[in-house]
Amino acid sequence: MKTQWRTKTLEDSCQFINGLWKGEKPPFTQIGVIRNTNFTKEGTLDDKDIAYLDVEVKKLEKRRLQFGDVILEKSGGGPKQAVGRVALFDKEDGVFSFSNFTAALRVRDPHELDFRFLHKFLHWTYLSGVTEGMQSHSTGIRNLDGDAYKAIQFKFPPLPEQQRIVGILDEAFEGIATAKANAEKNLKNARAIFDSHLQSVFTQRGLEGESLKSGPPDDGGDSLDTKATVSKRHYPKRDSTDNGEVRVTKTGGRNATLRHIPGDYSLAVGMPNTPTRKGWRWNPLTELARLESGHTPSRRHPEYWGGSIPWIGIQDARERHGRRIDDTLQKTNESGIANSSARVLPKNTVCLSRTASVGYVVVMGRQMATSQDFVNWVCSNGLSPDFLKYVFLAEGRRGLHRFASGSVHQTIYFPEAKAFHVCHPVISEQLRIVSQLDSLQDETERLEAIYQKKLAALEELKKSLLRQAFAGELLKP
């Protein structure tokens, strides 16, 4: 540390101002109020959705933000909120204050301390994890220990050196921000290219193809009247086993719905009226695969858990979405299976999450069981499991929500799952499509990994520059 640098606590260097309550006593005035949601991970202020509220004029008097104030997030509970974040208030027009979940730091002596230097130090304090050990938890809310925060030792050089350091950091951060924006754009483009190709493979809209048909692709099928399909046709609860044998699906519950819910691509509830591309046809999914449910062995019996049978939960599906899954966070055992409705399903079973987290899809890499949050499909020889996986992926999590219902949590219920129809070609064409999509997915993930590494490296560069800055190691050019 340079000998000219001074040391003070944050409390000695800054005035701390608590956030604003709206109050109930007139007169009132309407102002912009900065909230936790206006903080960014870069330490800047996002003013796109500032709330404009009527507050007591008297309460505003001591809590009106000034240009150069640093706003501190001192409490928070949401996933996007991170206690200890800061944002620099740099608006010169308008009247603004800040919510009671935040506080403001104002430099006591601007001839001694540059507010921009203070802001970067506080941002570094957050990024380096200093504030993580200053938090307490109460009823789901994280609170910053104000006394501990005020006692942070703050080292700073003379004002001209502060301004030099700020200039270097601003220039460097501008370049980092540009590089990050490019990497994020490339990351987004890589995903978009895969999604676009996936959707083009499975689109049936606007195509001139065969008439609507049902039945295996090689049996000639019967032409169907779409209206009759919706109102009259009742599909039996059938499915195909791995060797093609048809037998009753044992999921229980209500029969397939007679409603018709069209999808965007090659999936629908009920027989759609969408024409198919040449060589493709619509079939009830239960004629091509056996529908299976899942279950959770009782948590009150710890002896049912910790065995050797992988058990797929939502978190597993989220982490392996769109891929094969070979291991799980939790495992059950033979007792857990025997004393519950859970079933061990064969390798290549396609699992689709159907509850509050609708739309995650994985393919079993070995025998596994699943929770009741999934509908599971054991495909016959006429349907490739990975082809079915890509059908679900093409529809997308947002698209799959159209098949769900529920006032609180959206769920794809079994009557809708039993009425799923898929559009598909013969098995040889399915396998060709799967091979092509697998290659593109692998390349997309390779590119994503490269861009993620670039983003991580840029973030580390930023932290390194801040560390050097507050250690007095940023040399003059």
Question: Per-residue DSSP letters for 372-426?
Answer: TTEEEEEE-TTS-HHHHHHHHHHHHHHHHGGG-B-SSS-B--HHHHHTEEEEE--
447: tokens are: 């590119």
Q: What does the alpha-carbon distance between residue 466 and residue 473 come to, in Å, rounded to a whole number?
A: 10
Q: What is the pLDDT of residue 340?
A: 93
Please tell me the pTM assigned to this model.
Answer: 0.73
Q: What is the pLDDT of residue 228?
A: 28
Beta-ladder partners of 155: 7
Q: What is the pLDDT of residue 351?
A: 97
| Residue type for position 294 | G
Domains 6-156 and 203-425 are alike in CATH topology:
yes
134: tokens are: 């200053």
- Contacts (Cβ under 8 Å, ≥6 apart) of 200: none
Degrees, nearest 5: CA angle 450-453-458: 130
Count Cβ atoms within 10 A of the Cβ of residue 27 and give its class: 0-12 exposed, 13-18 middle, 19 or more buried: exposed
Those residues of the chain that have pLDDT short of 50 are 208-248
Query: What are the pLDDT digits (tens) for 46-58?
Result: 988 899 988 888 8
What fold characterizes domain 203-425?
Answer: Adenine-n6-DNA-methyltransferase TaqI; Chain A, domain 2 (3.90.220)
CB 142 within 8 A of CB 135: yes
112: tokens are: 């001694």
**Helix (H/G/I), strand (E/B), else coil: 151:** coil
167: tokens are: 């200039």
C-alpha closest to that of 448 among 195, 184, 199: 184
Q: What is the pLDDT of residue 229?
A: 31
Instruction: Outline where 128-158 has alpha helix (H).
Output: 146-150
Extents of the domains making up the chain: 6-156, 158-197+431-477, 203-425
| Sheet bearing 135-138, strands edge to edge | 75-76, 141-144, 135-138
Q: What does the alpha-carbon distance between residue 63 and residue 104 come to, in Å, rounded to a whole number?
A: 9
CATH number attached to the domain at 6-156:
3.90.220.20
